[in-house]
Amino acid sequence: MTAIYLTQPGSLLDAKRGVFELWHDDRRQRRIPAKLTSQILVFEDSQLSKTAIALAISFRLPVLFLDRHHRHLGRLHLNPNSGSQHRSRPGTPDPDDRRDLAERLVSAILNSRQSLLNTLDGAICPTVELTRGTIARILDELPTASGDRLREHLTGVDRLYYPALRQWLRLSAGTVLAPIDPWFYLAHSLLEQVTYGFVLDAGVNPYESILHCDTGDNLPLVRDLMLEWTVTLVDLLVLRFCMDEFLFSGNGNGSHSPLSRLRDRFVQQWETQLASEAIAGTSYRQCLFAQVRRYREALWGDRLYSPVLLRSESFVSGQPLRALRSRRSPCTHLT
């Protein structure tokens, strides 16, 4: 299956006879059959024709629109109750089972975040040390926390964790960084698109979740499923990309590549990462696919959901993490 990314300014995605056609500068660049397409990501300076939109809807393809800073502009609405893949199941897990599942999700993401923070040099960034301590304290409190308290813990860590990563990256660079947040936004959107596609294929309603609350078109179930993978597939990717591309400004060492070219490189690294081996000959994409099935069975009460990251302590980027060191130290490459 092929994902379509409209990263070039002025790009147009059209469709004829069940085939998407990607145009740029009045030239057709590619033709991709809709039946072989997994999802579509469109940036603010590109567009979809009405026929392309109709074709995407008919094949129930996730279509997400991003602005120039990679923030959500909106998505193509797909009815979760339509399509031959959709299935309903009587009954839902009882409150105790739902609370236990929420704890497992929060525990998995907090443990993986702590593993990443443990590889960073906290001596140059006090916020990293503060966040480590907060996560350790919250992990001790999880077994007795209510469902609402679990959500509060997750939100509280979010307020510390991403600022800590941004601050560490700036201090490690030893210079003024160009904006980092757009790449976190983009990586989260890429993971969301892949997960949403698997949720649709599994016939699960993306608005019926365990942990996240429905606040509009935010696909709370998709966000539940994304949690387990954000450190491995989002945070590490962004840290490596920012360091490797030298996205700095103010000292002449910055990357002068056009934004569209940087997007292309980022998306290429994302696709390479998805296809890479995670565990025992299984790619990350295959792990995500299998995870949706396990989660669906847990929601229906057929089995107990066990996050991959809790079952494999070294499962971050497919191997145990090596230390990510400051550029002020002898080792400057993020591994």
Q: Any idea where the domains of the chain sit in the sequence?
A: 2-75, 95-311
Q: The domain 2-75: what is its CATH number?
A: 3.100.10.20
Interval 216-228 mean pLDDT: 85
**Exposure string over 303-327, b if 16+ CB within 10 A, otherwise e:** eebebbbeeeeebbbeeebeebbbb
Distance, in Å, from the CA atom of 300 to the CA atom of 90, rounded to the nearest integer, reads 8
Q: Is the pLDDT of residue 280 over 60?
A: yes
Cβ(6)–Cβ(40) under 8 Å? yes
Q: How confident is the model at residue 133 (pLDDT cuts 50, 70, 90)?
A: very high
Count of CB atoms situated within 10 Å of the CB of 14: 18
Distance, in Å, from the CA atom of 252 to the CA atom of 126, rounded to the nearest integer, reads 28
Cα-flanking dihedrals φ and ψ of residue 209, to 5°? -115, 175
> Residue 72's pLDDT is what?
94
What is the fold, at CATH topology level, of the domain defined by 95-311? Answer: Four Helix Bundle (Hemerythrin (Met), subunit A) (1.20.120)
> Residue 252's pLDDT is what?
38
pTM of the prediction?
0.87
Q: How confident is the model at residue 85 (pLDDT cuts 50, 70, 90)?
A: very low
Count of CB atoms situated within 10 Å of the CB of 27: 7
Q: Who has greater pLDDT, 190 or 315?
A: 190
- State percent of the chain over pLDDT 70: 80
Q: How far apart are the first and last CA of the chain?
A: 29
Q: Who has greater pLDDT, 232 or 52?
A: 52
DSSP one-letter string for 206-269: TT--SSS---SSS-HHHHHHHHTTIIIIIIHHHHHHHHHTT-B-SSS-S----HHHHHHHHHHH
Length of the chain: 335
> Residue 216's pLDDT is what?
66
